[in-house]
Amino acid sequence: MVCLIKLVILDLDQTLIDTIHRFHLVFNMVLEEHGAPQVDWPRFIRMYSDDTLDQLIPGDSRSFWVEFRRRYCSVAHPLDRAYYGAGRALEWLRERGLRAAVTTGRECRPADVWRELEQHGLAHLVDSVLTMADCSEEDELTWSRTGLIRLALGHFGVDSSEAVFVGDYWVDMESARRAGVHPVAVRTGFEPEHRLLKHGAKAVLAGIWELPSYLRQVLESST
């Protein structure tokens, strides 16, 4: 239950920035290095949505994903772009005095993420960036954000009941639930709505552009 929102913690990829084609590119790069054949786009996007990409990974999938997320910041794709409404959503938060923290499963320097946010015209609207390089907390879920969410809460001195987490993946919702913050999902990550709801999403939005209207309702209901 959100009492009074002070902090909005946002996922980066497939939530604020569309990097799905970069994901496909890096996934194939790491697959090839592990001696596995590359996967074409139609099959990739189908398995991405079904959350079955692990079936294509030879050997230990956890070590594969560690290498993948370390590589992610070193590659760009010409189709990388900020989602429609991302800037306006962040502006809306700032206008109301809410802090915005960006978290990412990428294991890279925060400076690399700040640079991308700057390229997409979003950096001046973000208060903090946290990556997996900042978090040593282990979790059985490969893409868990629980540790990063707790770091963000501590950084801003905010109670979990005063924070919202916005992400596109079921693990994002599970992570937010475990950290005690309010989970909000967006559908721009190709995740089926039922899976997001099953893992704790309090709302499923079409995209980041719907966040201001949703938060307005939450704020009004808490006063």
pLDDT tens-place string over residues 91-127:
999 999 999 999 999 999 999 999 999 999 999 999 9
pLDDT band at 139 (very low <50, low <70, confident <90, very high): low
Q: What whole-number distance in Å separates Cα of residue 166 and Cα of residue 160?
A: 14
Higher pLDDT, 136 or 14: 14
Domain boundary residue, one of 49, 74, 99? 74
Q: How confident is the model at residue 1, as a pLDDT? A: 52
Contact 187, 207 (CB under 8 A): yes
Same domain, 126 and 140: yes
Buried b (16+ CB within 10 A) or exposed e, 144-180: bbbbbbbbbbeebebebebbbbbbbbbbbbbbbbbbe
Same domain, 100 and 188: yes
Please check whether residue 1 lies inside any domain of the structure: no
Q: What whole-number distance in Å separates Cα of residue 186 and Cα of residue 21?
A: 18
For residue 38, the number of C-alpha atoms closer than 13 Å in the C-beta half-sphere is: 10
Same domain, 121 and 192: yes
Q: How confident is the model at residue 20, as a pLDDT? A: 99
Q: How confident is the model at residue 144, as a pLDDT? A: 87
pTM over 0.85: yes
Same domain, 155 and 114: yes
Q: How confident is the model at residue 220, as a pLDDT? A: 83
Please check whether residue 100 lies inside any domain of the structure: yes
Q: What whole-number distance in Å separates Cα of residue 164 and Cα of residue 177?
A: 10
Q: Helix 170-179 crosses helix 146-156 at what angle (to 10 degrees)?
A: 50
Domain that holds residue 52: 20-74
Please check whether residue 2 lies inside any domain of the structure: no
Q: What's the mean pLDDT when you consider all of the chain?
A: 94
Same domain, 114 and 204: yes
Same domain, 27 and 131: no
Please check whether residue 33 lies inside any domain of the structure: yes
Domain boundary residue, one of 74, 89, 109? 74
Same domain, 119 and 214: yes
Q: How confident is the model at residue 35, as a pLDDT? A: 95
Same domain, 11 and 108: yes
3-state secondary structure 3-72: CCCCEEEEECECCCEECHHHHHHHHHHHHHHCCCCCCCHHHHHHHHHHCCHHHHCCCCHHHHHHHHHHHH
Q: Which two tokens stand for residue 136?
A: 């040593």
Same domain, 46 and 112: no
Q: What is the CATH number of the domain that holds 146?
A: 3.40.50.1000
